Amino acid sequence: MSTTPTSQKPIDPSIFKAYDVRGIYGRDLTDEAAYTIGRAAALYLGVPEIAVGRDMRLSSPALAAALIRGITDQGVNAVDLGLTTTDELYFAVGKFNYPAGVMITASHNPGEYNGMKFCRAQAAPISLDSGLAEIRDLALRGQFPEPARKGQVIQRDVTDDYVAHALSFIDVSKVRPLKVVIDAGNGMAGLIMPRVFQHLPCELIPLYFELDGHFPNHPASPIEPENMVDVQRKVREVGADLGAAFDGDADRMFPVDEQGNVIDGSMVTALVAQSLLRKHPGATILYNLIVSRSVPELIERMGGKAVRTRVGHSYIKAQMRELNAIFGGEHSGHFYFRDNWYADSGLIAFLLLLELVSIENKPLSELIRPLNTRVRSGEINSRVSDVQGKLEALVERYGPLARSVDRLDGITLDFGDWWFNVRPSNTEPLLRLNVEANTRELMEAKRDELLAFIRS
């Protein structure tokens, strides 16, 4: 069998990150690179077909076309799902038993970026340590055996199937006619939300539903407070019951209560856990170690089993499978569901909140008040020259005073009325600090003291 070199221009290896491929279109990530990665993925995975979805970025159609050409030139069929959310791509792979999938997206990054997320059968993620490094090495080598025949392209739209699947997590008949503001940030939520709300008795007030990879209104990155301002203002202006903003590929969701206050990932985890434990008493639920202590307390109070995990989707998904956990939540707006092939879905988390507000017949702020009894700093990054040295210095300084010192992911020190976690970044010489305390004064004092120590 002859081998063919695919490209004269070498691929930039820096586009291969820990969990995905990511780069600036036309500079690091080109159509030529996408074609070569398509061939490399098809060769490495050795599967008969690969499902491909894409978001609304300006470069996504060209990248998807090049990737699909690479897949089919390597003799593998490509199922072209067209425009999808990332969680819809995971759903398609799980539901229709595709042996692999690729999503063309750069999630919440600015418009000039794009990328690819890979998964195997049952939506199991492919990261650098579970196959992406091998795909990278094949792509960098650029030598591919010529297949006996080319693959076919099959077009398929799974959006209605995905909407039905997401709605199956709630009892639609229990949803009240609530007024709901959704900020799609010109991202993929603008495509899927009108299809979802067709099945709900709610009034949908859309913000920025036009798919537009220029992101003319604000970046589709709701984890940044400035990108939540529009949905907060609109909720107050129209007297909505709640609101939510989604990121560009619509797999992350950030809700807003009826007063326009942003609900953080810890409190969403608590509310979703509450909802699911009523339906599945005694279930196991995972939470990452920088989520509020109020989360495991609630899970245990309701008779569930709370399991603490490292930060990061590959750890959480693997542990959920191992423990048959029904749900996993992260501070960052990622929410994972067992009955969604352990993949994350901002849409499913949002629907569960909508159902909970309806059943309880109380405003969202009232549902959160008894759970939100502590004060969190949010994640604060500091650039340091010696990551490991600084972690050890923190243990030396604070360890003797702590009730416990834990090294599951960086270091977590618990002092009873407050705790902190410091963990290194995967990709940069950064330390990430999270502090939670019983009062605002204590949290702010400890946060400032720790930052001064870390940055000294």
- Among all residues, which ones are annotated catalytic? 107
Question: Which of the 8 DSSP states describes residue 293?
Answer: T
Query: Cα angle at 196 between 219 and 326, to 5 degrees?
Result: 90
Burial class (CB in 10 A: 0-12, 13-18, 19+), 9: exposed
Are 88 and 109 within 8 A, CB to CB? no
Are 101 and 52 within 8 A, CB to CB? yes
Which amino acid makes up residue 55? D
Selection from 371, 170, 173 nearest residue 257 by Cα: 371
Cα–Cα distance measured from residue 444 to residue 56, given in angstroms and rounded to the nearest whole number: 40
Q: Would you say the C-alpha torsion 258, 259, 260, 263 has a positive or negative sign?
A: negative
Helix axes 60-73, 31-45, angle to 10 degrees: 40
The DSSP result for 299-340, as a single string, is: HHHTT-EEEEE-SSHHHHHHHHHHHT-SEEE-TTS-EEEGGG
Kindly report the backbone phi and psi dihedral angles of residue 73, in degrees, each rounded to the nearest multiple of 5, phi listed first.
-65, -20
Cα–Cα distance measured from residue 33 to residue 26, given in angstroms and rounded to the nearest whole number: 10
Cα–Cα distance measured from residue 398 to residue 420, given in angstroms and rounded to the nearest whole number: 10
Cα–Cα distance measured from residue 171 to residue 368, given in angstroms and rounded to the nearest whole number: 21
